[in-house]
Amino acid sequence: MKKNLLSLFLVGAFAMGNAQVKTPQPSSSASVKQTIGLSEVSVDYSRPSANERKVFGNLVPMDVVWRTGANGSTDITFGNEASFNGIKVPAGKYSLYTIPSANEWEVVLYKDTEQWGAPKELKAEEIVAKTKVKAEKNPLFVETFSIGFNDLKTDRANLILSWENTMVKVPIVMDSKKEVLESINATLGKKEAKASDYNQAAGYYFQEKMDLKKALEYATKANEMQPDVFYMLKLKAEIQAANGMKKEAIETAKKSMELAKKASNDDYVKMNADNIAKWSK
């Protein structure tokens, strides 16, 4: 009996010794990921809140290196080589530091990702990119510091830092054109190439305004391989119009619209109707 009591006491004491109080962090951690082109950009950071305090010029001093968040340094990771506001940056993980001021911010990518918070001084040999961006006024008050991506295109986006009444944007470009063209050429060079492959290739050439004749060639091939697909016909019509073939584009759009009606796809019915009205002027 004594042995049992002793065992229970030891187990209880061990459990108490390893117990830890868990409470929510004042500045909770967050992650945001965005695919740009064929690659991914991710940011890991902590999100402080204003809590009725003045942020810039008080909680976050002006003209001083800021960790761009709270707790540990904010990290940004590029899956491939990127252009960071025009500065070429190799693929990899970097600390994201900022130096806020009233009218513009300096934004820094830093090799050393082991810092807790921001270093007092930035070492030149650790700086991968350092650029200035305009400080803009937020249309709405932002209570909790936020990092995200906006203005997305096929190979670019803006990194958005937003807090209180201030917002800054850093353009990021992930040039995937070479990879995409290699993929198109390799895929369409095979006998197994499908109508959907030709349609995707046509869409890419059209969106990027690269070679509209080539885009039409691919779109025509796609529709020959798989006729009567309303969304493929809509794309072909738009490419025809871009090539100055408005009469042909209208006929193709009418066919697409009829097929979309049969498929009960009101969105494509409207898009085709809008295109026909525009090209008929």
Question: 69-106: per-residue pLDDT in tens?
Answer: 999 899 999 999 999 999 999 999 999 999 999 999 99
Q: Does one domain contain both 223 and 165?
A: no
Task: Look at residue 7 in the predicted model and tell me its pLDDT.
Answer: 54
Using one digit for the tens of pLDDT, what is the confidence trace for 243-267?
999 999 999 999 999 999 999 999 9
Please spell the DSSP secondary structure of 185-253, one letter per residue: HHHHTSTT--HHHHHHHHHHHHHTTS-HHHHHHHHHHHHHHS-S-HHHHHHHHHHHHHTT-HHHHHHHH
Per residue of the chain (281 residues), give pLDDT as tens. Answer: 545 544 555 445 455 555 677 766 767 889 999 999 999 999 999 999 999 999 999 999 999 999 999 998 999 999 999 999 999 999 999 999 999 999 999 999 999 998 888 888 899 999 999 999 999 999 999 999 999 999 999 899 999 999 999 999 999 999 888 889 999 999 999 999 999 999 999 999 999 999 999 999 999 999 999 999 999 999 999 999 999 999 999 999 999 999 999 999 999 999 999 999 999 98
Specify whether the CB–CB gap between 33 and 152 falls below 8 A: no
Q: What is the largest CA-CA distance in the chain?
A: 98
Q: Is position 270 within any domain?
A: yes
Q: Does one domain contain both 161 and 255?
A: no
Q: Does one domain contain both 68 and 135?
A: yes
Task: Look at residue 177 in the predicted model and tell me its pLDDT.
Answer: 87
Q: Is position 13 within any domain?
A: no
Q: How many structural domains does the chain have?
A: 2
- Strand 87-89 versus strand 92-99 pairing type: unpaired
Q: Is position 39 within any domain?
A: yes
Of 173, 193, 218, the last residue of a domain is: 173
Specify whether the CB–CB gap between 230 and 259 falls below 8 A: yes
Q: Hey, how many other C-beta atoms are within 10 angstroms of the C-beta on 181?
A: 15
Q: Tokens at residue 3, please?
A: 């042995």
Is residue 102 classed exposed, middle or buried when 0-12, 13-18 and 19+ CB atoms within 10 A define those classes?
Answer: exposed
Q: Hey, how many other C-beta atoms are within 10 angstroms of the C-beta on 249?
A: 22
Q: Does one domain contain both 165 and 202?
A: no
Which residues in the chain belong to E strands, given as ranges? 28-36, 39-47, 75-78, 82-84, 87-89, 92-99, 104-110, 127-150, 156-173
Q: What is the helix (H) or strand (E) element at residue 27, kind and residue range?
A: none
Q: Does one domain contain both 31 and 149?
A: yes
Task: Look at residue 28 in the predicted model and tell me its pLDDT.
Answer: 83
Task: Look at residue 251 in the predicted model and tell me its pLDDT.
Answer: 98
pTM value? 0.77
Distance of CA 242 to the CA centre of its chain: 28
Task: Look at residue 188 in the predicted model and tell me its pLDDT.
Answer: 96
Identify the residue whose tokens are 């061990």: 14
Task: Look at residue 26 in the predicted model and tell me its pLDDT.
Answer: 67
Q: Does one domain contain both 146 and 191?
A: no
Q: Does one domain contain both 157 and 188?
A: no
Q: Is position 19 within any domain?
A: no
Domain around 260: 177-279
Q: Does one domain contain both 165 and 181?
A: no
Task: Look at residue 19 in the predicted model and tell me its pLDDT.
Answer: 63
